[in-house]
Amino acid sequence: MLNPDGVSRGYYRLDTLAYNLNRFYLNPQRTEHPTIWATKKIVVQQHEFKNLFMFVDFHAHASKKAGFMFGNHLTDVNK
């Protein structure tokens, strides 16, 4: 869980600084989004070391039933 401080206060997406952490995956700041920053850093590091086979984001939606899934963003499908 990447948002325990927010969840403990009853927030679904916001942390205690009122940031929706789902909006900061592309460019997290270490001081403002430390859990997202650290998670992204370790995933990229493991990828660089060739230790990452895949990662899965288990995610729920606050107002929709059932589940959904996101996949990798492929910039060049021929690689």
State the Cα–Cα distance between residues 60 and 68, nearest whole angstrom: 7
How many Å separate Cα 31 from the centre of its chain?
16
Q: The whole model's pTM is what? A: 0.68
Chunked into runs of 10 residues, the chain (79 residues) has average pLDDT values of 79 82 88 91 90 75 67 58
pLDDT at 4: 78
7 exposure class (CB count in 10 Å sphere: 0-12, 13-18, 19+) = middle
Domain residues of the chain, as ranges? 4-48
The predicted structure's pLDDT at residue 54: 78
